């Protein structure tokens, strides 16, 4: 090979190496998997998602749709139907004065409370367990309505 070809290959190889290094450093940053910081429950749930790795989870379509319906006041930041994760940014519920963000984890194909986990957070930190439970109950109720509407009973 000529000198120009080796020089071009060397530049390409260095560029690929630099790109790989940037990606690796970005992945190791302290922002967390979903950008949440400091929430113990969210950290535990993120760790469970990490340990599953690239494993796909069968996601209940009614829970998925109901989560988006009930939390429609929150902007969707990312979704991953293969792991059952919906990440939503900050938004204020209608008639409310407090801003929330949520990460929804659907871990099973069953339309069951055990299949749903919602990590809810306000700008000031943790949210009362009753509020989180009320959101999960609203999602489960809406999912049942959707299933009945489909005639899937």
What are the tokens at 66? 């109901």
pLDDT tens string for the chain (153 positions)? 555 544 544 444 444 444 433 333 333 333 333 333 444 444 444 444 444 445 566 889 999 999 999 999 999 999 998 889 999 999 999 998 999 999 999 999 999 999 999 999 999 998 999 999 999 999 999 999 999 998 866
12 burial level (CB within 10 Å; 0-12, 13-18, 19+): exposed
What's the start-to-end Cα distance of the chain, in Å?
70
| DSSP code per residue over 27-51 | HTSTT-SSS--S-HHHHHHHHHHHH
73 touches 92 (CB < 8 A): yes
* Residues with Cβ within 8 Å of residue 18, at least 6 apart in sequence: none
Structure letter (DSSP) for residue 127: -
The whole-chain average pLDDT of the chain stands at: 75
Domain spans of the chain, in order of start: 1-30, 40-149
**Strand, coil or helix: what is 142?**
helix
122 touches 99 (CB < 8 A): yes
- Which element (helix H / strand E) includes 74? none
| E strand spans, the chain | 76-80, 85-91, 100-106, 116-122, 125-126
**Strand, coil or helix: what is 79?**
strand
Overall pTM surpassing 0.75 (yes/no): no
Angle formed by the axes of helices 61-70 and 129-149, nearest 10°: 120
């Amino acid at each position: 090979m000529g000198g120009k070809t080796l020089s071009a290959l060397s530049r390409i190889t260095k560029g690929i190496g630099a790109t790989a290094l940037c990606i690796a450093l970005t992945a190791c940053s302290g922002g967390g998997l979903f950008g949440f910081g400091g929430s113990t429950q969210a950290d535990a749930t993120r760790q469970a998602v990490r340990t599953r790795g690239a494993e796909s989870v069968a996601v209940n379509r009614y829970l998925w749709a109901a989560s988006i319906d009930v939390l429609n006041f929150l902007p969707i930041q990312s979704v991953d139907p293969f792991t059952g994760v919906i990440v939503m940014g900050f938004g204020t519920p209608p008639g409310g004065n407090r801003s929330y963000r949520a990460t929804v984890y659907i871990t099973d194909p069953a339309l069951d409370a055990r299949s749903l986990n919602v990590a809810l957070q306000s700008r000031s930190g943790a949210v009362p367990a009753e509020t989180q439970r009320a959101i999960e109950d609203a999602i489960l109720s809406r999912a049942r309505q959707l299933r009945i509407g489909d005639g899937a009973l």
